[in-house]
Structure 1
Amino acid sequence: MDKVDRIDLKIIDELQRNARITVTELASRVGLSKTPCQLRIKRLEEQGYITGYTALVDQSKLGLDHIAFVQVTLNNTSSKALAAFNEAASKIAEVEQCHMIAGGFDYLLKVRTRDMASYRSVLGEKLSTLPHVLQTTTFVVMENVKERGL
């Protein structure tokens, strides 16, 4: 993969702040003309630095105010067990993020639901029944202080 330079990094930073920015405005902000800026964006996409574009949504306006982080410990960490967990966890709509962790537990999940009652249901019916789950520990978010892109 080709290396990125400071202009590429500026392009990436600006697109992370506002993916709907016009190419003309983006070019102006990074010190390029429109065509070279478009070419750099295309190259960054083709090389996998930019993997997609998305809309940031205020989840609380959709009634999804409850956020919990869940530590998951597995009873088996063989490659096959990890793959089974990964596949099953990725299918749960309420799981916004799933990270394999090096430390005292195996995974950290960010789970978003309407309220504590719906979280309890997700925990009991979905998370606890994932392949190879030995134990879960839940940490409920009291206030969202900073989230990238917001």
Structure 2
Amino acid sequence: MEDLAQMTLDLTDRRLLSELQRKGRIFNSDLAEKVNLSASACHRRVQRLEAEGYINEYVALLDARKMGVPATIFVEITLSTQADEVLEAFEKAVQRIPDVLECHLTAGAADYILKVVAEDTEDFARIHRQYLTRLPGVAKMQSSFALRTVFKTTALPV
């Protein structure tokens, strides 16, 4: 909660964050115009939002189909134990798998949920065989292929 106490976001800050989530490469002058600020005031606010950690980084979002990995698979993993050393070993190992986009520790039936991308079912079989089955502490694994992406965003509500 310490991060939340750093600064209070006003309406202008929220509008800046909203615009930047939609288009991270927007020119400062265009951003300033959209939120009714001078270019210099806009630049100062964005720098402050970056310094305070509200903006972590700027990235390019790639098209999975054009990159040759159109299949998305969600993998639920249950570990054999919740011991700290097993959790740490699993988390360290899963970060080294290039096809895993996200890994979430969860409360519920599974301990972790992974978001994996692959070319197709054969490629996922390779990822499963080469990486997932070798992860430390895994007792059970269940995979679900996404048939179609209905909705997807990276934008947080501001």
Question: Any conservation in 2 of the 1:56–1:149 contact (CA below 8 Å)?
Answer: no
- State the Cα distance separating 1:149 from its structure 2 match: 4.9
| 1:9-20 aligned within 5 A | 9-20=14-25
| 1:38-79 Cα distance to aligned partner (Å, 9 max, x none) | 111111111111010011111101211111000000011122
- Match for 1:68 among 73, 83, 107? 73
Q: 4+ residue stretches of structure 1 with deviation over 2 A?
A: none
Identical-pair percentage: 35
**Structure 2 gap ranges (5+):** 1-5
- State the Cα distance separating 1:130 from its structure 2 match: 0.6
Scaled by the length of structure 2, the TM-score of the pair is 0.91
- State the Cα distance separating 1:128 from its structure 2 match: 1.7
What is the aligned partner in structure 1 of residue 51 from structure 2? 46
Give the distance between the partners of 2:37 and 2:84, measured in 1 at CA.
47
Question: Any conservation in 2 of the 1:74–1:135 contact (CA below 8 Å)?
Answer: yes
Q: Which amino acid aligns with 2:78?
A: T
| 1:91-131 Cα distance to aligned partner (Å, 9 max, x none) | 10000111110111100100001110010111122112111
**Structure 1 gap ranges (5+):** none
Give the distance between the partners of 1:129 and 1:143, measured in 2 at CA.
29
1:134 aligns with 2:111: no
Secondary structure of the residue aligned to 2:134 is: coil
Give the distance between the partners of 2:15 and 2:84, measured in 1 at CA.
38
1:30 aligns with 2:35: yes
Give the distance between the partners of 1:133 and 1:5, measured in 2 at CA.
45
What is the aligned partner in structure 1 of residue 112 from structure 2? 107
